[in-house]
Structure 1
Amino acid sequence: MNGEREQTVSEAGRHTQGTAAWAATPDGRRLYTMELPGPSTAGEKDVPTVVFEAGAAATRSTWAPVQVGVSGFARAVVYDRSGLGRSAPDPAGRTLDRMADDLNAVLDHAGPGPFVLVGHSAGGPIVRLAASRRPERIAGLVLVDPTDEAADVLFRKTFRRAERVWLAVGGAAARLGLFKRAFRWLLAMAPAEDVREDLAREAFTPGVLRTQREQARTFLDELEVWRETPPALGDIPVTVISGTRTGDGMPKAVRAAANASHAHRAAQSPRGRHVLAEESGHYVPLTEPDVVVDAVNALVTPGR
């Protein structure tokens, strides 16, 4: 990666998620990135770089188990969206449109491509929109239990009401210092102490909930428009991974609707695949990282 670099060092001398740097956006903001270079062959021409987009309130750290696995065969880059982790808030707001532009700024920084983009949950629509804007440099998408406009349940009043309640309760919990306690299982699943430290410091603050609230302000309205005019992906290969278990805020009916939408999304690609993560609910990158790693590997090294 080019530009200003900042080394983040663990006790072992190197952070589990690699070398840190800042990616500049066209309007002058800086987005915090971390890179694992992968094997020497990952620097060869036409070997895709893998870039990860986290879920709605998630930082780069939630990708650590998958990023480490992917670095065995490819260069692997994570980053924090504006208002999350170490990236400052965006004063202009958090529309899908703007978040996709930020992801493309990260890709510009990471240099010419090709890229495989991996998006979890709300990160799924972001990578789809970013890919549709520069499809010539995208070698494939992996959508991990993504939010998808084909799921009617997202646009019902009950879903939106539940989202508002969660944002209010979560914001209060973060202010009282209770948010970390509710998600202590997330810390337990981190692959190394330096990642746990980053999560503990960055992932449970009131600012995280403020950013999630700002994203939610327009997210579903923008996504609903895609039901008629989705981003055009052409022949980009798309793999969609579904959790199969309920829980994580997804009761049986919501899980069924989500997985049906995932099957639909995979079918829209001429080279689409729908993969089931049999041991997971919504947090597949943490509970079954190898499923995601295998899906990425199939796109980075087709025919393996």
Structure 2
Amino acid sequence: MAELVDVGGYRLAISVSGADSPPVVCVSGLTGDAGEWSGVRAALRSQAMFIAYGRPALGGSDPLPATLAAVPRPASWAAEQLHVLLARAGVPAPRVLVGHSIGGLIVEAHLARRPGDVAGVVLNDPTDPRANFEIGKPVPICADANDGGIRFCFGSCRDERDEYPTPPTMPAVVVSAAVDSWQRTADAAVIAPCTLAEADELWQGYQRDWTARPRALHVSADHAGHCVHEDAPTLVAFVIGGVVRAVREGRMFGSTSRPWNRLAAALRRPGEGRPRRSARPTGAPIGKLPRFAITGRTPVTAAVDCRTD
């Protein structure tokens, strides 16, 4: 049951279940709300406190006052809103932050401003602000909701990222859509003059950049589209569980091969997503290297068949 929490003249709907630490906080992509994380929550074996919420005018949350809704905002504005919500809802820090799409930008902004509040991150096909200017016609502003939602300014999102400090080392994983997801799902006319193949190449470059920023592990969810957490909830739940375990045990996820091997073993079990062909340094061809490989905290990609979800 969602609770409405006042964050400064309007209320946001927040859903909280479980009680163990560290809390897992899910941040949705554009127009998303708490309901889209239900599959991940059901598949998550950990009893960690699990939090999902709706930004203004989404998922039962109040719309923004007109004066606030009229101003385009960077991701950091939504990150500050999230900080107030979690504090007033009594969600203890540090937390594992899980972001999808533009939620990845909000997670990154929160981490840049309050690194002590973040214990680990899981980014699901995170959006790079450059995509709004490089794939298809420029779309500098996107609205979360028609009336009373946040209007995100992607130029401001791009500019503030350039000012962020290097993230602290912590358990971090990027879970990306299939390498050819644009060619599988997108409408070529919508992104013209960019081709679908060019869009895929650009997007995978963005994902590699996201992986490099926090020196994360990189999982490519084969057969999953942009909404990885909905297309492959079991896979995302296992990745979150791996980060939660790493935080509890006080070790760095990826500092040795053992944490990665634990995750790989879990993914090999029937019904929980199976490794497709390889795990390889980001950018290497699928199927050219041994099934699972990791070198220190070098970004590593695992191609995972998620059709069992």
- Tell me whether 85-94 or 249-258 shows the greater mean CA deviation: 249-258
Q: How many angstroms does 1:56 deviate by?
A: 0.5
Cα distance in 2 for residues equivalent to 1:254 and 1:22: 39
Contact 1:153/1:159 (<8 A) preserved: no
Structure 1 residues 136 and 210, CA gap change in structure 2 (3 angstroms): same
SS at 2:41's partner residue? Answer: helix
- 1:277 counterpart (213, 221, 239): 221
Letter of the 2:23 partner, please give it.
T
> 1:77-92, aligned counterparts within 5 Å?
77-91=51-65, 92=68
Q: How many angstroms does 1:157 deviate by?
A: 8.0
Equivalent residue, structure 1, for 2:244? 300
Q: Using structure 2 for the length normalisation, give the TM-score.
A: 0.67
Cα distance in 1 for residues equivalent to 2:94 and 2:221: 27
Contact 2:45/2:241 (<8 A) preserved: no
- 2:170 counterpart (204, 218, 236): 236
Higher strand share: 2
Structure 1 residues 254 and 73, CA gap change in structure 2 (3 angstroms): farther
- 2:13 counterpart (32, 36, 39): 32
- Tell me whether 72-81 or 220-229 shows the greater mean CA deviation: 220-229
Q: How many angstroms does 1:282 deviate by?
A: 0.6
Cα distance in 1 for residues equivalent to 2:6 and 2:157: 26
Structure 1 residues 126 and 249, CA gap change in structure 2 (3 angstroms): farther
> 1:48-127, aligned counterparts within 5 Å?
48-70=22-44, 72-91=46-65, 92-93=68-69, 95=73, 96-108=75-87, 109-127=89-107
Structure 1 residues 258 and 226, CA gap change in structure 2 (3 angstroms): farther
Cα distance in 1 for residues equivalent to 2:223 and 2:134: 28
Q: How many angstroms does 1:22 deviate by?
A: 2.4
Q: How many angstroms does 1:231 deviate by?
A: 5.6
Q: Using structure 1 for the length normalisation, give the TM-score.
A: 0.68
Q: Can you list the C-alpha shifts for 1:282-303, whole angstroms capped at 9, x where unaligned?
A: 1111110112111111110025
CA RMSD of aligned residues (A): 2.6
Cα distance in 2 for residues equivalent to 1:258 and 1:289: 21
Structure 1 residues 231 and 258, CA gap change in structure 2 (3 angstroms): farther
Letter of the 1:159 partner, please give it.
K
Q: How many angstroms does 1:279 deviate by?
A: 1.6
Given the alignment of the two structures, is residue 155 of structure 1 paired with residue 133 of structure 2, yes or no? yes
Cα distance in 2 for residues equivalent to 1:71 and 1:89: 34
Cα distance in 2 for residues equivalent to 1:157 and 1:76: 34
Count of residue correspondences: 231
Equivalent residue, structure 2, for 1:173? none
Equivalent residue, structure 1, for 2:4? 22
Q: How many angstroms does 1:88 deviate by?
A: 1.0
Letter of the 2:29 partner, please give it.
G
- Unaligned 5+ segments in structure 2 are 188-195, 247-258, 263-309
Q: Can you list the C-alpha shifts for 1:8-40, whole angstroms capped at 9, x where unaligned?
A: xxxxxxxxxxx3222331x232110112216xx
Structure 1 residues 257 and 118, CA gap change in structure 2 (3 angstroms): same
> 1:209-288, aligned counterparts within 5 Å?
209-210=146-147, 214-216=150-152, 218=153, 220-226=154-160, 228-230=162-164, 232-244=166-178, 245-246=181-182, 247-249=184-186, 251-270=196-215, 272-288=216-232
SS at 2:61's partner residue? Answer: coil
Cα distance in 1 for residues equivalent to 2:9 and 2:63: 12
Q: Can you list the C-alpha shifts for 1:214-264, whole angstroms capped at 9, x where unaligned?
A: 524x2x111220453236422233211110122444733223212221112
Equivalent residue, structure 2, for 1:129? 109
Percent identity of paired positions between Structure 1 and Structure 2: 26
Equivalent residue, structure 1, for 2:281? none
Higher helix share: 1
